[in-house]
Amino acid sequence: EIVAAVQSALADGPLKGRRILVTSGPTHEPIDPVRYIANRSSGAQGTAIARALAAFGAEVVFVTGPADMPAPGGVEVQRVETAQQMLAACETALPVDAAVCAAAVADWRVASASPSKMKKTAGGLPQLEFAENPDILAALSQRAENRPGLVIGFAAETDDLEANAAAKLKRKGCDWIVANDVSEAMGIMGGTENAVTLITQSGTERWPRMSKYRVAARLAGKIADVLTGSD
Amino acid sequence: EIVAAVQSALADGPLKGRRILVTSGPTHEPIDPVRYIANRSSGAQGTAIARALAAFGAEVVFVTGPADMPAPGGVEVQRVETAQQMLAACETALPVDAAVCAAAVADWRVASASPSKMKKTAGGLPQLEFAENPDILAALSQRAENRPGLVIGFAAETDDLEANAAAKLKRKGCDWIVANDVSEAMGIMGGTENAVTLITQSGTERWPRMSKYRVAARLAGKIADVLTGSD
């Protein structure tokens, strides 16, 4: 009841009337009908962000790869498998006021995925040729038409977190990067907490380690500030 | 209550005192800390088989890769990620009266998985060198010591189902193969039904399409017949 009361109080929230795209989960890139390449992503952070934005009153389009967890309620869900499908679903969702690209999109796909199952016996080890996948964050950030007012990317890094994330911000042309350290010692992958650094064109904020729900709520609050001009 | 009554009636079932190994789910083979290669497998069929064997009174060791569904209750669960870990867990489980190898084990792993995240910017497309994974079905089937009395493999095929499955039976040295057609037209991958062909050294049985639970119950019944000498 408390949750329902809060949600109904927020339905008229600061993001009422704003349309926001959130990508979430991994992509799966087929090798053949039974094998694929994937990124580790439970979809937990993207799902929490979509839920927080919806609770703030936004109309959320949630484009998700095959994630471990159910999509949040109260949002428009578009399910995809590959990076190419995810880009198409994002472009279909435009125009939006903001885009939060939390999906762990595979950088590469297998150039010539086999329509039949590759046989183990047919000539030893496989030779896979790769092709570069579309870069969804860069594509949304660099659009001439219908560029979202605010584009937020994520960077999962194991080394040189801030330098790599700042370089990514510049290279992609997005507005903010939410960077996190996924080295094994942090124990974040697949867990319930996250320790992120928010990088914007004006500086860097190191947020303390907190639950993925609190990261989502804080990020949604900052998005609301920017979109409503209170920042 | 009906389920509980059936289970308690069966706890003294035909497989009481028999120890059976069941492998299930996919394996994930790391490329780097965030990327991996996987086989499509929900774990649904292996989970149903473990549950049916336990309901028949067997002591079940359930060795599972990262599957979509929870492990059944009342069995000993060993969670693994890679094929090498799965083989080790199977060997630790021996001796067993029967082994049902329902996992979709990756045939190959990446020979030199990177300890750091591969950067998209560092020199274009990746070159992955593969190494052959241990063949768990063959390893169990061909053991000199502690070979399970009955070793059952699975074959997911898209072409020439029976010929490929019969060749696999011979090549691996297992006793039965449960073959199924995973071509897209069948719509079986990830679904709730299965259409299998059981291949033994004495012949072939085509089972009609039925729920994965019914496939599991029928297979458990045949295992009980063989282990108790009623076949």
Closest to B26 measured CA to CA, from A41, A42, A37, A191: A37
pLDDT value at position B128? 82
- Provide, as residue numbers in chain A, all residues whose Cβ is less than 8 Å from the Cβ of B68: 68
- Interface contact B81, partner A, CB < 8 A: no
A190/B25: higher pLDDT:
B25
**CA triplet A158, A161, A166: central angle to 5 degrees?**
135
- For B90-143, write each residue's pLDDT tens digit: 999 999 999 999 999 999 999 877 877 777 655 677 778 889 999 999 999 999
Among B132, B143, B109, B136, residue whose Cα is nearest residue B31: B109
pLDDT of residue A3: 63
pLDDT of residue B11: 61
Which of B32, B158, B168, B189 to mutate: most A Cβ within 10 Å?
A: B158
Q: Do B33 and A182 touch (CB under 8 A)?
A: yes
Nearest to A61 by CA among A22, A95, A27: A22
> From CA B88, how far away is CA B90, in angstroms rounded?
5
Write the CATH number of the domain with boundaries A2-117+125-153+216-226.
Answer: 3.40.50.10300
Of A130 and A82, more confident: A82
Which among B108, B126, B182 has the least Cβ separation from residue A126?
A: B108
What local confidence, expressed as pLDDT, does residue B149 receive?
Answer: 96
Question: What CATH number belongs to B2-158+217-227?
Answer: 3.40.50.10300
Give A73 to chain B, closest Cα distance, Å.
21
pLDDT, position A185:
61
Phi, psi of A172 (to 5 degrees): -85, -25
Nearest to A37 among B35, B119, B183 (CB): B35
* Contact criterion met (CB < 8 Å) for A35 and B31: no
**CA distance linking residue B111 with residue B109, whole number of Å:** 6
Going by C-beta distance under 8 Å and a sequence separation of 6 or more, which residues neighbour residue A191?
none
Q: B84 falls in which pLDDT band (50, 70, 90)?
A: very high
